[in-house]
Amino acid sequence: MFDLKGKTALVTGAGSGIGEAIAKAFARAGAFVYAADLDVENGARVASEIGGENAEFIILNVAEKRDCEAAAEKVLDEKGKLDILVNNAGIGHVGTILETSEEDLERLFAVNVRGVFSMTKAFLPSMIARKYGVIVNLASIGGVLAIKDRLAYCTTKFSVVGFTKSIALDHALDGIRANAICPGRVETPFVEKRISEYPDPEKAYAEMSATQAVGRMGTPEEIAAAALYLASDESAFVTGTAFEIDGGFAVGK
């Protein structure tokens, strides 16, 4: 099950956390993976750990339209196709609207929304031409319900969910499937860094873990397992979903 042999995939933000776990899970399932990231050191590390025959690193800033177009040109020149696009790259911000500047909002939109838009637009025509394409967008539980003090982040992640549903509806008959994954809190380097910035990191960790009904945060590998399912042909009847993998974060809300 979940066999990706013969498939070509590109994962943005593949240099750490969820993106790294997805890239490695796809490679284990047989896909050739383009591990894309702005972080050259870690992106190249992930591709190297997967192995040169099964992965290649692409330096990519999804906030730059030209970078996205160049990535598509490279992949299509080298492989002639892209079967699976995972828009995982994203950034966060803490604050209410009164603590969020226009620059903060624009910075998040540039990566979290325009990045998804530009990557999808760069690859979608070639997918439509082949009548096959799978798009997996990493949203957040903050894309289906509000999270306190995360105004900009939630705004962008709600946008990702809406974007995903629109792509799925507009291009269902073109052989395109698009789904969003909405994780709860996951133990990634990004989250660990945020926790370290709190006055009492130990207390912050406990509080963030308790947010999930199961009493812990998720792991990148648990999110990658869902991405693998959505990328595989076993999920051929699944499109336009906001797949909540949140340890019960949203239960009762």
Closest of 44, 46, 32, 5 to residue 220, by C-alpha: 46
Q: Which two tokens stand for residue 3?
A: 């066999």
pLDDT (tens digit, 9 = 90+) per residue, 158-201? 999 999 999 999 999 999 999 999 999 999 988 888 898 889 99
Sheet containing strand 84-87, edge to edge, reads 55-59, 32-37, 8-12, 84-87, 133-138, 176-183, 242-245
Domain extents for the chain? 8-183+218-244
pTM (two decimals)? 0.96
CATH topology of domain 8-183+218-244: Rossmann fold (3.40.50)
User: Distances in Å between the alpha carbon of 112 and those of 15, 170, 197?
Assistant: 16, 21, 22
pLDDT (tens digit, 9 = 90+) per residue, 126-136? 999 999 999 99
Active-site entry in 132, 153, 198, 205: 153
Q: Clarify whether 153 is annotated catalytic.
A: yes
Cα dihedral sign, 230-236-241-246 = negative
